[in-house]
Amino acid sequence: MDENDFIDYYKVLECNRTASVEELKRSYQRLILTLHPDKNNTDLSDTFHQVQKAWTVLRDDDTRKQYDAELSCREHSDLLLYDTVALKEMEYNDEDNVYTYNCRCGGTYLLENCDTILSQVIIGCNECSFSIQVNML
């Protein structure tokens, strides 16, 4: 998906990011009633479909987590992305249950509580302003 094509589903549903599933559902139902093509003479079919897509993504815990992670990455695009690495390229410490990767500055990238639901995460160095993207698959 192109950067310009990214849609903020929370804005589409007129909710904030901390909204509960019930709040999202109420907003979805209200919007669908007002935007439905059978009830509306204007051509709002694109908006209607965006509302449906937003609800489909945000109502499910797993897809919402993935979407929230992508939204967060896009909001923090000012990060200096140093490298892209696969999870298997990182060293795993059984004792601490953490993945590590060395930064060129001598610092370390730490990945704790690895969530395999996400396809990628961005983590920052503990010493400098660089970040890396970790491909989880």
DSSP helix/strand/coil, 116: coil
CA distances from 118 to 5, 68, 70, 94, 135 (A): 21, 10, 9, 21, 9
The pLDDT assigned to 121 comes to 83
Question: Which two tokens mark 9?
Answer: 């589903």
Contact at 8 Å (CB) between 102 and 127? no
The pLDDT assigned to 25 comes to 97
pLDDT for residue 3 is more than 60: no
Q: What is the pLDDT of residues 73-107, one digit of tens each?
A: 677 666 667 788 999 999 998 888 899 999 988 99
Contact at 8 Å (CB) between 135 and 87? yes
The pLDDT assigned to 108 comes to 92
pLDDT for residue 28 is more than 90: yes
Contact at 8 Å (CB) between 117 and 126? no
pTM (predicted TM-score): 0.55
Taking alpha carbons only, the member of 125, 63, 121, 129 closest to residue 87 is 121
pLDDT for residue 114 is more than 90: no
pLDDT for residue 60 is more than 50: yes
The pLDDT assigned to 1 comes to 43
Sorted by where each starts, the structural domains of the chain and their CATH numbers stand as: 3-75 (1.10.287.110), 80-135 (3.10.660.10)
CA distances from 59 to 52, 64, 73, 114, 117 (A): 11, 7, 21, 23, 16
pLDDT for residue 2 is more than 50: no
pLDDT for residue 48 is more than 50: yes
The pLDDT assigned to 79 comes to 65
> What number is the average pLDDT over the span 34-52?
80
Give the strands of the sheet with 120-124, arranged side by side.
80-86, 130-135, 120-124
DSSP helix/strand/coil, 90: coil
